[in-house]
Amino acid sequence: MSFWLESLIILVVLCNLRVLGSSRLTACIQTVALQGALLGLLPVLAHLDALSARLLLQAAASTVLKAAVFPWLLNRALRQAGLQREVEPFVGFTASLAAGVLFLGAALWLAARLPHAGPEALSRLVPTALFTIFVGLFVIVSRRQAVTQVLGYLVFENGIYAFGMAFAEKQPLLVELGILLDVFMGVFVMGITLFHIHREFDHLDTDRLTALRDS
Amino acid sequence: MRPELLHLPLALFCAPLLPGIINRVKAFFAGRCGPSVFQPYRDLLKLLRKGAVFSRTATWVFRAGPLASLVCAAAALALLPLGGLPALVCFPGDIVLFAYVLALGRFCTVAAALDTGSAFEGMGASREVWFAALAEPALLLGLAAMARQGGELSLTGLYGSLEPAVLLAPGGPALLLVAAALLIITLAENSRIPFDDPDTHLELTMIHEVMVLDHSGPDFGLIQYAAALRLWLLGALAAGLLLPVRTGRPWLDLTAGLCGLCAVALFTGVVESVMARLRLTRVSQLLAAAAAFSVLALMLVRGAP
Amino acid sequence: MGAFLLSIGLLAAGGLGALFFSRRSRLAGLFGAGGALLGAAVGLAEVLPALLDRTPRPLRLDWGLPLGSFSLALDPLSAFFAAPILGLCAAAALYGVEYMEAHSSRRSLGPSWFFFDLLMASMLVLCAARDSVLFLIAWELMTLSSFFLVTFEDEKESVRRAGWTYLVAAHLGTAGLFLLFMLLSRQAGSTDLSAVPALSPLHADAAFLLALVGFGTKAGFMPMHVWLPEAHPAAPSHVSAVMSGVMIKTGIYGLLRVLSLLGAPPAWWGWCLLAVGAVSGVLGVLFALAQHDLKRLLAYHSVENIGIIALGLGVGLLGRAHGMPLVSVLGFAGALLHVLNHVLFKGLLFLGAGSVLHAAGTRDMEHLGGLLKRMPWTGSTFLIGSAAICGLPPLNGFVSEFLIYLGAFYAVVAGGAAWGAVAIGALALIGGLALACFTKAFGVVFLGEPRGEKAAAAHECGWPMRLSMAALAAGCVLVGLCGPMVLFWSSGTLLQVCALPPAAFQSLLFGSVLPPLLWVCGAGAALLAALILGALARAWLLRGRPVGESGTWDCGYAAPGPRMQYTASSFAQPITGLFSFFLRPRERASGPEGYFPASASYATETPDLFRERLYEPVFSGVLRLAWRLRWLQHGRIQLYVLYIALTLLVLLLWRLG
C-alpha cells in the first residue's frame, strides 16, 4: 500500500514541476486538474481500512470540483480569450524549475522541524504540501497572465488541502469546505472578470493593468 | 567460468544489435520491412575493410578521436554490471570514473570534430558539449540518489542490491524518477530523438552525425561501434533499475538484463517513431527536467537504514 | 632550516645581481633565472623531506624591530605549499629566459627579474612564517613584487588599470588580515602564531570570517575575485603562471593555517566554504566560457579551480563537524591534491598561452587557429593541460576531483545528503562546463585553420620554453598515474589538516582512501595501454590500404575559407545564452543591409558581473564622498605640514592627558 501512496505523493510533486516548467496554458490546467484528482484519491488510499461515507463524499466533492469543474471553467475562459501560452513570464521556465527544486529542499528542511504523527507512508506528505503551497505562491508571483495566476491559487489550495490531510486524522470538514467554497467563488468571479478584462483591453496581461492605477 | 568475465565479451559482441532493433522498430511504425537487425554488423565489417580519406586540415587529433572514444566506451563497459552479473572492475566510487571516462570519450570526439575546421562540425561540437554539460549533473545526482537508497558506492553494489522489494520499500518509488532521468539521459547522450535526429540529411540540423562527417573507412566504423556501446552502457543503467529481476540464478538474471536492454531499444524506437525533434531551446529544459528528477529523487529517498 | 635559508639567500643574490646588471639583459636573465633555479634545487632538498617529517625544527631570530620576530618552521603543511612554489617558479624562470628576450630591446629586464626572485622568496618565507608580523611583511612583499611584475608593460593603459585594480583589491584583503592577526595576537598575548590559545566561539567565528575575506581575496573566491581576470592577462605569461599557479594558493594556505589554529569547526563554516566553492566554481567556469581572450579565460578558470578546492575544504569541514572522519579525510585530501594539480596544469596552460602570444602576437582566440601544426610541442602539452583541467582520467585533475566526489558520495550515504548533493551537483556541472570551455579553447586556438595572418605565420618556441612546458605536462601525467603515491607523500599534511588521531587516520587512509585511488590510477594506466594498443591495431588495419587526402567536407560550397570556421563565441553561445541571467553579455551588431551588403559585424563582450554591479557602484559612491573632502587638499606644502603637526599634537595630548 505504501508503494502506491508514495507514488501518488511523487506524482503530486511532479505535477508541481510541470506547472512550473510548462508554457502551454492548457497543459497547466490539465496538470492542476490531475493534481486535484490525485489529492482527492489520497485520503481514500490512506484510510482504506476505515472507509466511511463522509470520507468518500468529501473526496468525491473535492475531486469533482478540482478535477472537473475548475478546469472546465478555466478552459472556457481560455477559449473565450483565445489564449494559448504564457509568454515572457517574469521568471523563465528553466529558472522556475530550478527554483522548484530549491523549494522542495526548503520544504523538506522545514518539514523536518515540524512534529509528525501518522503512518510512515505519509511522512513525505507534509513537505509535499509545503512544496505545493510554495509553488502556488511562486506561480502567482512570477507569471503575467491572469489565467496562470488563477492556476497558482488552485495549486495553493491543493497545498492547503494536503497539509490538512497530513495533520488531521479526520478532516475538519467545515474548514476544508469553506476553503473550497472560497476558491470556487474566486475561480468563478475571476473567470467572469477575465472575460470582461479581455473584452475591454484585448489582453490578459496583469503586468499591463498597472496602467490603470491613479497617477 | 566466472560470470563477471562474461559480460564484457557479451556486450562487445551484442551491442550493435541495439541500433538494429531500433531501426527495425522505426521501420515497423513507418510500414516498411526495414533492414535486418544484423545490418549494423554488416555495415561495420564493410567499413573496417575500407581505406580512408583524411582532410588536409586535420592533424593527429582527428585520427586519434574515433579510437579514443571507442576505448573510453569499452573502459566504461568494464565498470558496468548487467542483470545481476557483477562488473569486471568494481570499487567504491567507480560511479564517478564511469561518468568521467564517458566524458573523456566526448572530449576526444569533440576535439576531432573541431580539427577539421568545418563550420558544421564546429556547430555540432558546440551542441554536443552543451547537452553534455547539462546531462552530467543529472547522471551523477541520479546515481547519488540510488547510492543513498542502497547505501552502496559502486555500480555493481548499487545494481546488485536492487530487487523488486527495494522499489516497494519506503522511498523506493522515488527511484522511478531516477529511471526516468536515466532514460532521458540515454536519449540525449546517444543523440536520439527528441534531442537529435540520427536520420536527418541536412548538415545544419545534425548534432552527432555532423561531428563525424569527415571520418571515413575504419575510423567511421569505430565511431559507429562506439555509439552502439554507449547505447548499451546508458541503456543498461536505466533497464537495470526498471527491471530488477533477481532470481538467484545467474543465467536467468542475465537474460532479464538483456531483455531490459532490448526494451530500452524498443522504447527508443517507439519514441523516435512517434515524437518529433524538440526545438533547440527546449532541449535544455528537458535536460534540466532530468536533473530536477534526479534531485527530487535524491531528496525523497529514505536513505539506507 | 639551513638549506631553506640558503635557498632564500640564493634568490636574494640572484635578484640583486639581476638588478645590478640591469643594463645587460642577457646577464640579468642569467642572474635572475639562475638564482631561481639554484634556489629551487637547494630549497627542494630541505622541503621534500619535511613533507613527512612530523617534528619541525623552528628557527627563531630576534630582529631588533619593536614587534614580532623572525621565526620560521617547516611543518608538513608549510612544506606542502612550499614545494610547488619552488617547482613551478623554477619552470617559469626557465621559460622566462626565452620569453622575456623579446622585450629586451625595449626595456631593461633587471627589475623584472629582481621582482620575480623577490616574489618567490616572499612566498617561501610566507609559507614558513610562524609570527604574525613576519607573515604580514612577507604577504605585503609578495603583493608588491607581483604588482610590479603585473605592470611590466606599463606603457599600456589596460595594464596600468589592471595593476591598480590588483593593488586595491589586494590591500582590501590585507586589511582583513590585519584585523585577523590583531585578534589572534591579542588572544595569544604575543605575535607568535604557535601561542594562540583556544578561542571562544565568538572569536573563532570572527577569525574565520576575517580569514575567509582576507585570504579569499588573494585566493580569488567569488565575489572577491575581480582582480584575477584583470591582472593575470596583463602580466607576462610566466608571471601569470606563477601568480595563478602558486601565488593565489597562498590564500588557501593561510586559510588552512588559520583553521588549524581555531579548533573544532562548527557546521556553518563548512556550509560557508561549500557555498563559496559552488558559486566560484560554477560562475567561474561560466565566465571563462564567455571570454575570447585566452589568458582571461584561463584566469577565470583559476576562480573555478579555487572553487573546487573550496568545495573540497567545505566537504572536509562538514565531515569533521558531523563526525564523519572518512568524509573529512576525503574532502581535505581532494582539496590538497587539487592545490597541487592546479599548480601543474594551470602553470602549464598559462605557459602554453604565453607561447601562443609569443608566436602569434595575439591572445584573441578569434584570430587564432591551426596552431597545432605550427607549434606541435606547445599544442600537445596544451592538450594534456586542457584534458587535465577538465578533470578527465587518466590525468591528475581527475584524481583530486575523484576524492572530493567520493567524500560527497560517502556523505550522501551516511546522512549528509544535502551538502553531499550540493558538492556532487556543483562538481558535475563544473565538469561538464569545463569540458565545453576547454574543447573551445584548445579547438579554436590549435585546431582547424588559422583565422589570421599572424597565426598562419606562427612558429614553435625554443627549447627552454618547450622544456618547461614538457616538464609540467609530464607532472600532470605522472600525478594522474601515481595518485596514491602522491597522496601518501602528502599524508603528513593531511593528518595535520584533518586533526584526527594518527592511528585512526592511518587506518582510514590505508583502508578506505588509498584502495579506490589505486583502482582509479590502475584504470587510468589500463586506459592508456589500451589506447596505445588500439593505435597500433589501427595502424595495422590501415596498412597497405589506400589512404587519401582531401579538403574538409563543405556541403558543396566551392570556396570555403578559414573565416567560415565556427568561432569561439559561436561555440560557446548556446551555453552562455542559457545562463545569460548571470553572464549578461553585451552585443554590438551591425547587420548586413540593402541588396548588396558591404560589411556586417558582430561582437560580444562579457564584463564581470560583480565588478559592474557590486564594486563600481560602491567605489563610485566612495569617490563621491571623497570629493567632499577636497577642501582639505590645496597643494600647499605649508598646510600639509600644519596637518601633520596638529595630528602629532593631538596624539600627544591624548596619550598624556
Contact criterion met (CB < 8 Å) for C406 and B115? no
Give the pLDDT score at B102.
Answer: 95
> Is the pLDDT at B84 greater than 80, yes or no?
no
CB contact set of A53 (below 8 Å; sequence gap of 6+)? none
Cα distance between residue B103 and residue C427, in whole Å: 13
Whether C554 has a pLDDT exceeding 70, the answer reads yes
Given an 8 Å threshold on Cβ–Cβ distance, is C393 in contact with B217? no
Distance CA(B224)–CA(C623), nearest Å, equals: 63
- Contact with chain A for residue C418, Cβ under 8 A: yes
How far apart are the C-alpha atoms of B166 and B21, rounded to whole Å? 30
Report the relative pairing of strands C547-550 and B52-55 from DSSP bridges: parallel
Distance, in angstroms, between B31 CA and closest chain C CA?
Answer: 32
- Residue B134: predicted pLDDT: 93
Give me the mean pLDDT over the C300-310 stretch: 96
For A41, other C-beta atoms within 10 Å of its C-beta total 17
**Of the given ranges (A62-71, C472-481, C488-497, C511-520), which has the lowest mean pLDDT?**
A62-71
Q: Which of C366, C406, C517, C527 to mutate to test the interface with B (most CBs of B within 10 A)?
A: C527
| Closest partner CB to C527 (pick from B75, B99, B122) | B75
Contact A7 B176 (CB under 8 A): yes
DSSP code at position C629: G
CB contact under 8 Å between B91 and C564, yes or no, is no
Nearest beta carbon to residue B132 from set C402, C435, C542? C435
To probe the interface with A, which of B300, B301, B302 has the most A CB atoms within 10 Å?
B300
Are C418 and A94 a contacting pair at CB < 8 A? no
Q: For the whole model, what pTM was predicted?
A: 0.93
Residues of chain B positioned with their CB less than 8 A from the CB of C569: none
Query: Which of A49-63, C374-388, C638-652 is most confident?
Result: C374-388
> Is C520 in contact with B97 (Cβ distance < 8 A)?
yes
Please give the average per-residue pLDDT across C588-614, as a whole number.
Answer: 84
Q: Average model confidence (pLDDT) for chain C?
A: 90
* Coil vs helix vs strand at A145: strand
Q: Taking CA atoms, what residue in A is nearest to C417?
A: A105
Tell me the residues of B at the A interface, defined by beta carbons under 8 Å apart. 167-168, 170-174, 176-177, 284-285, 288-289, 292, 295-296, 299-300
| Cell 472578470, residue located | A193
Interchain pair B54, C429: CB under 8 A: no
**Closest CB to B129 among C387, C435, C555:** C435
Among B158-172, C432-446, C478-492, name the one with the lowest average pLDDT: B158-172
Q: Quick check: B109 and B83 in contact, CB under 8 A? A: no
Which of B68, B96, B120 is closest, CB to CB, to C555?
Answer: B120
Higher pLDDT among residues A208 and C205, named by residue: C205
Q: Which domain holds residue A134?
A: 2-212
pLDDT at C350: 95
Helix axis angle, C249-262 to C325-360, nearest 10°:
160
Q: Which of A6, A94, A98 sits opposite B173 (nearest CB)?
A: A6
> A69-73, A83-87, B26-30, C487-491: which range is least confident on average?
A83-87
Which pairs with CB-CB distance under 8 Å and at least 24 residues apart come from C102-105?
C102/C358, C103/C152, C103/C153, C103/C236, C104/C25, C104/C26
Answer yes or no: is pLDDT of C523 > 60: yes
**DSSP-based three-state secondary structure for B278:** coil
Query: What average pLDDT does the segment C200-215 reach?
Result: 93
pLDDT at residue A172, as a whole number: 61
* Lowest mean pLDDT, pick from A200-209, B197-206, C255-264, C402-411: A200-209
Q: Which of C102, C150, C156, C109 is nearest to C459 (CA)?
A: C102
CB contact under 8 A, B300 and A13: yes
> What percentage of chain C reaches a pLDDT higher than 70?
100
User: What whole-number distance in Å separates Cα of residue B288 and Cα of residue B292?
Assistant: 6
The 10s digit of each residue's pLDDT in B196-219 is 888 887 878 888 888 888 999 899
CB contact (8 A) between residue C387 and residue B96 = no
Is pLDDT above 70 for A122? no
Q: Distance (Å, rounded) from C-alpha B78 to C-alpha B97?
A: 11
What is the average per-residue pLDDT within B102-129? Answer: 93
B143 pLDDT band, cuts 50/70/90, is: very high
A159 or C271, greater pLDDT: C271
CA distance C448 to B119: 10
pLDDT interval class at B69 (50, 70, 90): very high
**Can you tell me the distance from the alpha carbon of C288 to that of C304, in angstroms, rounded to the nearest whole number?**
9
How much is the pLDDT for C486?
Answer: 93
- Give the pLDDT confidence score for residue A164 in this predicted structure: 76
Out of C316-320, C467-471, C559-563, least confident range = C559-563
Q: Does the beta-carbon distance from C578 to A105 stay under 8 Å?
A: no
Query: Average of pLDDT values for C232-238?
Result: 92
Coil, strand or helix at C548:
strand
| Minimum CA–CA partner of C582 in chain A | A95
Alpha-carbon distance of C575 to C577, in angstroms, equals 5
Taking Cα atoms as reference points, which of A20, A133, A138 lies closest to residue A86?
A20
pLDDT at A177: 65
Tell me the per-residue pLDDT of C26-69, one tens digit each, with 9 for 90 and over: 888 889 999 999 999 999 998 888 888 767 778 887 777 777 78
Which residue, among C412, C540, C580, would best test binding to B if mutated, counting the most B CBs under 10 Å from its CB? C412
CA distance C127 to chain B (A): 34
pLDDT at residue C474 tops 60 = yes
Q: Does the structure show a pLDDT above 70 at C490?
A: yes
Kindly report the average pLDDT of chain B as a whole number. Answer: 90
pLDDT averaged over every residue in chain A:
79
Check pLDDT > 80 for residue B248: no
**Which pLDDT value is given to residue A185?**
64
What pLDDT is attached to residue B46?
Answer: 94
And the C-alpha cell for A113?
522541524
Higher pLDDT: C383 or A156? It is: C383
pLDDT at A190 exceeding the cut of 80: no
Confidence of residue C275 (pLDDT cuts 50, 70, 90): very high
Interface with chain B: mutation pick from C374, C377, C392, highest number of B CBs within 10 Å: C392
Give the span between the Cα atoms of B103 and B230, in whole angstroms. 11
Say if residue C501's pLDDT is above 50. yes
Alpha carbons B221 and B43: distance in angstroms, whole number: 8
pLDDT at C493: 92
Closest CA of chain C from B36, distance in Å: 27
Q: Does residue C5 register a pLDDT over 80?
A: yes
Q: In total, how many domains does chain A have?
A: 1
Residues of chain C with Cβ-Cβ distance to B97 below 8 Å are: 393, 402, 519-520, 523
B212: nearest CA in chain C?
C553
Distance CA B17, CA B23 (A): 10
Q: Name the minimum distance, in Å, from the CA of C208 to any CA of chain A.
A: 26
Q: How far is C133 from chain B (nearest CA, A)?
A: 45
Whole-number Å distance between alpha carbons of C396 and C402: 10
Residue of C nearest to B158 (CA): C413
pLDDT at residue A1 greater than cutoff 60:
no
Neighbours, chain A (3 or more CB pairs < 8 A): B, C
Query: What is residue C148's predicted lDDT score, i.e. its pLDDT?
Result: 93
Instruction: For C332-375, write each residue's pLDDT tens digit.
Output: 999 999 999 999 999 999 999 999 999 998 999 989 988 999 99
Mean pLDDT calculated for residue range B73-96: 90
Better-scored residue on pLDDT, A7 or C335: C335
Cα–Cα separations (whole angstroms), residue C183 to C98, C188, C263: 46, 9, 15
Q: Domain ranges in chain B?
A: 4-30+56-194+207-300
Q: Of A95, A105, A109, which has the smallest distance from its Cβ to C581's Cβ?
A: A95
Tell me how close the Cα of C101 comes to any Cα of chain B, in angstroms.
31
Q: Which residues in chain B are closer than 8 Å to A10, comparing Cβ atoms? A: 173-174, 176-177, 296, 300
B171 or C437: whose pLDDT is higher? C437
Interface probe with A: pick from C419, C581, C583, most Cβ of A within 10 Å = C581
Mean pLDDT within B163-187:
88
Contact residues, chain A, for C581 at CB < 8 Å:
92, 95
Report the share of chain C in percent with pLDDT over 90. 62
pLDDT of residue B305: 44
**Chain A partners within 8 Å of B288 (Cβ):** 21, 94, 97-98
Residue A201 has pLDDT above 70, yes or no: no
Q: Which residues contact C476 (CB under 8 A, 6 or more apart)?
A: C341, C344, C345, C348, C384, C385, C388, C395, C396, C397
Nearest CB to B174 within list A10, A93, A101 = A10
Other beta carbons within 10 Å of C160: 15
- List chain C residues with CB under 8 Å of B51: 542, 545-548
Contact: C406, B153; criterion CB under 8 Å: yes
- Answer whether B173 sits within 8 Å of A94, measured CB to CB: no
What are the tens digits of pLDDT across the range C145-186? 999 999 988 888 999 999 999 999 999 999 999 999 999 988
